Structure 1
Amino acid sequence: MTSLWLDVLRPIPTDDFEPLASYDDVIVGAGLTGLVTALLFARRGHTVAVLEAGTVGGLATGSSSGLVSLLQGAQLQKIRQRTYQGVVDAYAEGSREAFSWLLDYTEGAGVDVERRDAYSYATTRRGLERVDSEYFVGRRAGLDLVKTLKVDVPFNTLGAVRLRDQAQLDPRELVAALAADVRALGGIIVENAHVTGVEAGDPATTHTSQGDVRSERVHLTTGAPILDRGLYFAKTTPRRSLGMAFSGVDDDDLPGALYRSVDAPSRSIRRHRGDLIVSGNTHGTGRAASETALAQDLEDWTTAHWPAARRRRAWSGQDYATLHGVPFVGFLPRGRGRVFVATGYDSWGMTNAVSAARMLVADVIGDDSPWMTTLHHRVTLPAAIGWGLGANAAVAWHFARGWTKALATPVSAGELPGEGEGVVGSEGLSPVARSTVAGESCALSAVCPHLGGIVSWNDQESTWDCPLHGSRFTPRGEVIEGPATRGMTPRPL
């Protein structure tokens, strides 16, 4: 299912791959982080190449919310609970600078931006405590937050915190403008160049499905790092969130602000160009019994409060949560100072992507701001370590559960799923994954090629998703997103 932003595509011009070409900086991933990084380097006279496995802005950025806000649900208190106030202050300052940079850029590039107030609201007493905590932590970090009881939504709330004059935009329009500016400055953007590895030599060599290129530096700006150095797959947790666009709601009944719940299940509500946009039901990748059921739940909730709403688009997107709520940005361990990484935006990619891009460039040119220095040198406290241990215990549980369930479910040689279905079972001692999509049946090894987890069927997106570290694959087993760098192994039907 494609997002609202990918509903009507306008082509984004790109370039041909040049084998063995040399650049100052190779950027892996043509989402928001990668394109802003490329633009900032190109403005400084660097030769840059952006290598994208799919299409420009077609994955995480194209499935994002398009919200540009410094009020981010209950994010600041999450960071404060797992770190210390200095890190909260640095994160808030980086977000402020990213917000200003992005709005300045969109104004100059002619990208349409809507300015609206943002609210984090509560529907339970526990949620109200979170609202109060976000207010105090945010005020201490310098945000002009206001507590209020007035929340213009058609259901009961107990209170909210408000931040004036935040923004929303179409992320596809943004990446199109960024790509054009990168190419105008001499940068190269290549689609369908799946990166399979990086050698951190002098120069660095990046291996792709179209050949190799060389560069002084390589910047990994994919959702999850495609290299296991640094073990970032064990330091982040992949999560998916559902989004829906509804038509049919009278203009007077559409929300006039940007609303985000602090309670579970998550609910984000706003209007965009005459549509009602509702997102939420965040869950671990590959761990939902049925994404279709989660989508139906979100639709039922919406029509219960906006009876005239009619679903016209549904999609889901993926992001990664870190131990402490702050992205990982900087040198990749064992990268010999030539490989850099940015990951872990925790559902707030519009500002965190820009902050990360600015940090990647500052690391190279040696121009760190004080907030960057704080984030680079933060101390991992016991609260964050405890969260990480719990997350990795869940990974181990899903590993064992997947293998046990697969081996306990034998499938016959001629057994094929129905249309739109996928099943996991075993042939002897071999876990197998079978699916039928658009009349085509496929059989694969059910073992994720990253670290051996057993994949599960995503009935909303018709994909195979790994519940361990979030790798995703097409029904044919081709990689959609990492950390896996190769596809699932085909098996005979």
Structure 2
Amino acid sequence: MTSLWLDGAPATTYPTPEPGLRFDVVVVGGGLTGVTTALLLARGGASVALLEARTLGAVATGNTTAKLSLLQGTHVSTIAKKHSTETLRDYVAANREAQQWLLGFCADEGIDVQRAPAFTYAGKREGAAQVEAELAACRSAGLDVAWVDELDLPFPTYGAVRLDDQAQFDPVSVLRGLAAAAERHNAVIFENTRVTEVIGDEVRTEHGVIRAGTVVLATGTPILDRGGFFARLEPHRSYALAFETPGPIPHGMYLSADQPTRSLRYAPTPQGELLLVGGNGHIVGREKTTRSKVADLVDWTRKYWPGATLTHSWSAQDYSPIDGLPYVGPLVPGRDHILVATGYSKWGMTNGVAAALALSERIFGRQKDWAPTLEAWRTRELAGLGTALKANGGVGLAMVGGWARAELHGDGDAPAEGGGRVGRDGVRPVATCTVDGETTAVSAVCPHLYGIVQWNDAEKSWDCPLHGSRFAPDGRVLEGPATRPLSPAPRHS
């Protein structure tokens, strides 16, 4: 599955580092948060290196639907239920400043951006109450939203919130523009460089040690377990498809308030406009079949846009914090040597830039007015305690269930093409799959916190149901908190 944005984009060719280098700041993660942070720090005169485990934009940023919007589905009302109006307004202020910063950058660099209204709509009658709650929360937050009774869409809707003059773009073009600007300010970018540990000023990678005064983890979810952020986040995976359609494509950004989620936008390409449809999100590693999620989106699209032809399908991973607000600040309370940015609840285009603005200011000894609201360690997080207990209860069930299922399935024939299964070799759970005619067996035990991985039949990957680590068929790390691969299964003579 390759996203519209990454398909056909020229490959990046950043080097790997020589050991022994030293920088003021090392930024880990080559997505929107990491590259923007590197640019801001380099502009301010810091010596900066950015380390990306794969290639720039390979994970969330290259697989987003790239809506730069202050209307965020029902997220504003979700925050309003758990926090004060002041906190809500700070969150919106952070996102507004981030939106304006990125729009200004794109204008300065000549990067194409489409301005369009954003809509949160009810796809069912019972969803109208959620939309009304979003309208009220957005107004409390100072957003100039309006109620709309009807939308020009080919399926029934039951009211919507509208916010004009929002934005969308090609995220890979934006990311590469940011990277080029960072390099012009003497930031150094390295790809194919996985960070495995940070001890003191040593940033340990598979290519050796780099030293840094400050380390920023902009890795989706922190790759260091100190701070226990994995227990404060819930990993979600969702899907996006691009279609050529014979009829008109709506020129707005639409997101349903009810389930199953449906997200719509258009995308200009040299060959004409495409319709982008997204949705069907779920917790990582806890679905029997993910392929059915994609098939359902295809069927739904062809029902309402007859003759639609699928051109691309892809997916992305997002992390939801327990109280609805991102975590931006120190990995461990009171120690600013290692800083993190995570928990964007699927709204990383604004929150990722807001995190970069907050972290760069913090490193330079300054503070944004709204930054305390996004602080990584906040006493008001008790508002999300119930969510945390529920999420970690699910983790516990996934742990027990995974080990139990592995015990029930012994060794057998190789899975069919595109299939994977978890069995056991003696007492060891083994994950076996067949992809492109090659059958591979690896340990089924996630090296992060020992969950049993599940086969993702849509993306041909092994996904951990505990905290969202994902692995290629041969065990290589794709994303998540894990920094080590699934080990090879023992061979028997």
Residue among 233, 238, 243 paired with 1:241: 238
CA distance in 1, matches of 2:438, 2:380: 48
Which residue number in structure 1 is paired with residue 427 of structure 2?
429
- In the alignment, structure 1 residue 460 sits paired with structure 2 residue 458: yes
Q: CA deviation at 1:15?
A: 3.8
CA distance in 1, matches of 2:373, 2:442: 46
Q: CA deviation at 1:324?
A: 1.1
Share of identical aligned residues, percent? 45
Which residue number in structure 1 is paired with residue 274 of structure 2?
275
Q: CA deviation at 1:364?
A: 1.3
- In the alignment, structure 1 residue 22 sits paired with structure 2 residue 19: no
Which residue number in structure 1 is paired with residue 446 of structure 2?
448
CA distance in 2, matches of 1:84, 1:381: 12
Amino acid at match of 1:465: D
Describe how 1:81-96 pairs up with structure 2 within 5 A. 81-96=81-96
Which residue number in structure 1 is paired with residue 119 of structure 2?
119
Describe how 1:140-219 pairs up with structure 2 within 5 A. 140-199=140-199, 201=200, 204-219=201-216
Amino acid at match of 1:94: A
CA distance in 2, matches of 1:380, 1:426: 44
Determine if contact 1:68/1:99 at 8 Å carries over to the other structure: yes
Determine if contact 1:81/1:383 at 8 Å carries over to the other structure: no
Q: CA deviation at 1:383?
A: 4.1
Give the secondary structure class of the aligned counterpart of 1:6: coil
Which residue number in structure 1 is paired with residue 37 of structure 2?
37
Which residue number in structure 2 is paired with residue 373 of structure 1?
372
- In the alignment, structure 1 residue 473 sits paired with structure 2 residue 468: no
Distance 1:482 1:375, change over 3 A: closer
Q: CA deviation at 1:428?
A: 2.1
Amino acid at match of 1:299: V
Provide, for residues 50-83 of structure 1, a one-character-per-residue CA deviation record: whole Å limited to 9, x for no partner. 0000001111100011110000000011111122
Provide, for residues 106-159 of structure 1, a one-character-per-residue CA deviation record: whole Å limited to 9, x for no partner. 011111100001000002233111111111111111100001112111011110
- In the alignment, structure 1 residue 263 sits paired with structure 2 residue 258: yes
Determine if contact 1:128/1:159 at 8 Å carries over to the other structure: yes
Give the secondary structure class of the aligned counterpart of 1:238: strand
Describe how 1:105-116 pairs up with structure 2 within 5 A. 105-116=105-116
CA distance in 1, matches of 2:6, 2:320: 25
Q: CA deviation at 1:430?
A: 1.4
Which residue number in structure 1 is paired with residue 404 of structure 2?
404
Which residue number in structure 2 is paired with residue 329 of structure 1?
328
CA distance in 2, matches of 1:381, 1:196: 29
CA distance in 1, matches of 2:13, 2:251: 35
Determine if contact 2:322/2:381 at 8 Å carries over to the other structure: no
Which residue number in structure 1 is paired with residue 294 of structure 2?
295
Provide, for residues 79-119 of structure 1, a one-character-per-residue CA deviation record: whole Å limited to 9, x for no partner. 11122222211110000000100100001111110000100
CA distance in 1, matches of 2:246, 2:347: 27
Provide, for residues 261-289 of structure 1, a one-character-per-residue CA deviation record: whole Å limited to 9, x for no partner. 00011100121111010000010101111
Q: CA deviation at 1:308?
A: 1.5
Choose 213-222 or 1-10, whichever is displaced more.
Answer: 1-10
Provide, for residues 21-60 of structure 1, a one-character-per-residue CA deviation record: whole Å limited to 9, x for no partner. 1101000001000000000000011000000000011111
Normalised by the length of structure 1, the TM-score is 0.96
CA distance in 2, matches of 1:68, 1:78: 19
Choose 313-322 or 426-435, whichever is displaced more.
Answer: 426-435
Determine if contact 1:62/1:172 at 8 Å carries over to the other structure: yes
CA distance in 2, matches of 1:410, 1:84: 53
Amino acid at match of 2:473: P
Provide, for residues 218-253 of structure 1, a one-character-per-residue CA deviation record: whole Å limited to 9, x for no partner. 000001100001100000000001000001332xx2
Q: CA deviation at 1:369?
A: 2.0
Give the secondary structure class of the aligned counterpart of 2:372: helix
CA distance in 1, matches of 2:481, 2:211: 22
Provide, for residues 406-457 of structure 1, a one-character-per-residue CA deviation record: whole Å limited to 9, x for no partner. 1011124xx2111111111112221110011111111111111111110000
Describe how 1:330-409 pairs up with structure 2 within 5 A. 330-333=329-332, 336-376=335-375, 378-380=378-380, 382-409=382-409
Give the secondary structure class of the aligned counterpart of 1:443: strand
Determine if contact 1:49/1:189 at 8 Å carries over to the other structure: yes
Give the secondary structure class of the aligned counterpart of 1:380: helix
Q: CA deviation at 1:334?
A: 6.7
Which residue number in structure 2 is paired with residue 231 of structure 1?
228
Determine if contact 1:237/1:322 at 8 Å carries over to the other structure: yes
CA distance in 2, matches of 1:216, 1:50: 14
Which residue number in structure 1 is paired with residue 418 of structure 2?
420
Give the secondary structure class of the aligned counterpart of 2:150: coil
Q: CA deviation at 1:16?
A: 4.2
Determine if contact 1:13/1:180 at 8 Å carries over to the other structure: no
Amino acid at match of 2:451: G
CA distance in 2, matches of 1:110, 1:11: 21
Amino acid at match of 2:391: A
Distance 1:15 1:110, change over 3 A: farther
Which residue number in structure 2 is paired with residue 47 of structure 1?
47
Determine if contact 1:327/1:342 at 8 Å carries over to the other structure: yes
Which residue number in structure 2 is paired with residue 309 of structure 1?
308
Determine if contact 1:319/1:346 at 8 Å carries over to the other structure: yes
Determine if contact 1:87/1:378 at 8 Å carries over to the other structure: no
Give the secondary structure class of the aligned counterpart of 1:62: helix
Distance 1:317 1:381, change over 3 A: closer
Amino acid at match of 1:422: G
CA distance in 1, matches of 2:372, 2:394: 32
Determine if contact 2:245/2:305 at 8 Å carries over to the other structure: no
